Structure 1
């Protein structure tokens, strides 16, 4: 089995570092920002442009913590079991809250939210399901999907109209396609891993 990319938190070997460290602190911050984001998103029924801009800013900051917590943990040897568990939970909580919130407000079709949420939860459970056999590291396609998905959600949260809304829709469709393609790849890799076949990253 090829060695997984070092940027994937789940693929990292846990260190002896205390769970009370800056990397885990950023992960916890992301979790704490989820309800704050939801409050801003739903303020005034989701029709307050100022509140939507605030919600978009919170989502952007929370997404940045996702990038930096893993990088800091890897470079400083702060990878912990808590971080490996909390990081994907924080990611899914943020994305899930945003998608479901947008659908409740009528800004995003429910079928898109269902597809994306099922994919997110499914892949996470899949990775933990095979963890005794090895690690399914985040693929390049998965990382591209995460970026496109975050960008699409951020654009949808902003109070955009006209051509900008069309651009947001294009990115969201691209995110759905990438989610389905990479999700199928994760399933195939999990089956191979459970069967004892080397998984290519």
Structure 2
């Protein structure tokens, strides 16, 4: 009797224990792990599928950005080219044209009434001063507001040399300025212009501060000679012209030096590039 109840007791206990163990096993093993893995797997799949989608969206966005950016850049270049082609009649070029028109007017005023009338010489000085002032402004305006054109590149130096050459020749023709001064200044200007064209295949000779100071000193000196000055002002203009001539010669020699150096560097670079391609 004692064994039966024990086994009977054990049976229910085992019966209890069986379901409990099954339930706990299910709770600890199958039931939690299966949903957890399923959920985590699903989340991983969602994340994995989201990454390519995000990549596609980002790629599409970047592609659209690059495409729109390239289109914008191309459109900007085309617009800029159109502006440059259509901007011949801009302010900078108009100032250059004014300087060209002033040349014959200046000569007429300079030689009016024999070329020695103080009043006509004053009018000629005014025309020369306007030409020199426009020379200062047209280049600055062209660079500052992107108004550089092929016409301006050609016409601007021509206008500069035309007004200066006309003034020097008139002064020497009237006997106010020695011819050798005119020959030195004009010879330097024409020589440097020719030199620039000869070495342009190797590079561009930049304008120096000495060149700008030379231009300023020439303008002041020639302007003082155009006016009918007397006394100490007449003496002062002689020394100003002497400074202008010295700067003309010194800066001219410096341009020659730069041209020689630029040519040597260009030849060396071409030789090195040729050797590299042959190797």
TM-score by length of 1: 0.88
State the alpha-carbon separation in 2 of the partners of residues 138 and 58 from structure 1. 26
Match of 1:115 in 2: 184
- Pairing 1:26-41 to 2, within 5 Å after superposition: 26-41=95-110
Cα offset, 1:21, TM superposition: 1.1
> Is 2:193 aligned against 1:124?
yes
- Pairing 1:92-103 to 2, within 5 Å after superposition: 92-103=161-172
Q: Cα deviations across residues 81-104 of structure 1 (Å, max 9, x unaligned)?
A: 111111111000010000011000
State the alpha-carbon separation in 2 of the partners of residues 128 and 41 from structure 1. 33
State the alpha-carbon separation in 1 of the partners of residues 200 and 94 from structure 2. 25
- Number of equivalent positions: 183
Q: Cα deviations across residues 37-66 of structure 1 (Å, max 9, x unaligned)?
A: 011111111111000000001000000110
Match of 1:174 in 2: 243
Unpaired stretches in structure 1, ≥5 consecutive residues: 1-14
Cα offset, 1:129, TM superposition: 2.0
More deviation, 127-136/31-40: 127-136
Match of 2:206 in 1: 137
- 1:196 aligned counterpart, secondary structure: helix
State the alpha-carbon separation in 2 of the partners of residues 128 and 78 from structure 1. 23
More relative contact order in 1 or in 2 (CA 8 Å, sep 6+)? 1
Segments of 4+ moved more than 2 angstroms: none
- In terms of fraction of residues, the more helix-rich structure is 2
TM-score by length of 2: 0.64
Match of 1:10 in 2: none
> Is 2:227 aligned against 1:158?
yes
> Is 2:159 aligned against 1:90?
yes
State the alpha-carbon separation in 2 of the partners of residues 85 and 132 from structure 1. 18
Unpaired stretches in structure 2, ≥5 consecutive residues: 1-79, 267-279
Q: Cα deviations across residues 64-87 of structure 1 (Å, max 9, x unaligned)?
A: 110000010011101111111111
State the alpha-carbon separation in 2 of the partners of residues 81 and 189 from structure 1. 25
- 1:195 aligned counterpart, secondary structure: helix
